[in-house]
Structure 1
Amino acid sequence: MRPFGELEADVMRVLWAAADDGPVTIHTITDALNTEGRNLAYTTVMTVTERLRAKGWLTREKVSRSFRYSALRTADDYSAQLMTEALDSSADRAGALLRFAGRLDAAEAAALRQALDALPGDDAAERPGAGS
């Protein structure tokens, strides 16, 4: 998976932010993007949105004479996929993970520790470095 381009990422941010409100139209997406100081054409946003749908990131439903779009995957799914691919490209996954973990602030490290401890079937005592 290639990372999103700038406009793709912006469209996805609009859709992720609107997730609780339900599917949105191209007009809604265009208006949200243009409030950020842009002047994007409806057709440009429609093209990018359709490309994201073709890539499997969006779904659409016909409502009256227009389509409404919603994200199929979350922002967290996207970030996790990018992180997995970065690790897959590393010759030393453990080393890359350690460098990543070393860059976390205290709250992020605590959240990661809690998430690891909550993994099913995981025995913290068996993990390297546990208890240190």
Structure 2
Amino acid sequence: MSTTPRNRLGELERAVLEHLWTEGPSHPEGLTVREVHDVVGVQRDLAYTTLMTVLDRMAKKGLVTRERDGRAWRYTAAASRDELTSETMRHALGELAGTERRSALLHFLDESTPEEIDELRAALAALEARQAPGSTPRGRHRRQKVT
């Protein structure tokens, strides 16, 4: 992973990704700059060329994938919201040494609600069940290099 992770998003990049995640299921072929602009650009009063530049930069960062469709590009999110969040958390914790990592996790947990702690316990139980002897091993998700 690079020293500047792809998951450090600007406000506009986040809005574009949110739109791609929301519209993705109904547009598996991806969205054109025009289709993104018609929603995100109009809401934010942005020029078409601004969205075109942002999407191009996001493709170079690996945040979105793109495919040619005639003269236009069609864009899709390169990772799900969950995958990108996980990558952000992994990167932040990965920069810390052992005791600092533990301290950061404890601070995070101290600020968590009882419901969030219950969700964490359920997630840990699911992980332990997947890793139990006799279960099918599941490694880390493979990261895809996006061009």
Shorter-chain TM-score tier:
0.7 to 0.9
1:82–1:70 Cα change, 3 Å: same
1:35–1:107 Cα change, 3 Å: farther
In 2, the alpha carbon distance for the partners of 1:122 and 1:55 equals 37
* Equivalent AA in structure 1 for residue 56 of structure 2: E
* Equivalent AA in structure 1 for residue 117 of structure 2: A
1:12–1:19 Cα change, 3 Å: same
Deviation at 1:80, TM superposition (A): 1.3
The counterpart of 1:31, out of the listed 26, 35, 38, is 38
Correspondence for 1:15: 20
Correspondence for 2:59: 53
Residue 67 of structure 1 aligns to a residue whose secondary structure is: strand
Correspondence for 1:110: 118
Kindly report the root-mean-square deviation, in angstroms, between the aligned alpha carbons of the 2 structures: 1.9
Residue 18 of structure 1 aligns to a residue whose secondary structure is: helix
Number of residue pairs matched by the alignment: 122
1:47–1:19 Cα change, 3 Å: same
In 2, the alpha carbon distance for the partners of 1:35 and 1:10 equals 12
* Offset from partner CA, 1:54-108 (integer Å, 9 cap, x none): 1112112223432211111011112111111221233411111111122222222
* Equivalent AA in structure 2 for residue 72 of structure 1: A
TM-score w.r.t. the length of structure 2 is 0.74
In 2, the alpha carbon distance for the partners of 1:122 and 1:40 equals 52
Determine which structure has greater relative contact order: mean sequence separation of CA pairs < 8 Å that are 6+ residues apart, divided by chain length.
2
Name the % identity. Answer: 38
Residue 4 of structure 1 aligns to a residue whose secondary structure is: coil
Correspondence for 1:130: none
TM-score w.r.t. the length of structure 1 is 0.82
1:92-107 equivalent positions in 2, closer than 5 A: 92-107=100-115
In 2, the alpha carbon distance for the partners of 1:115 and 1:84 equals 16
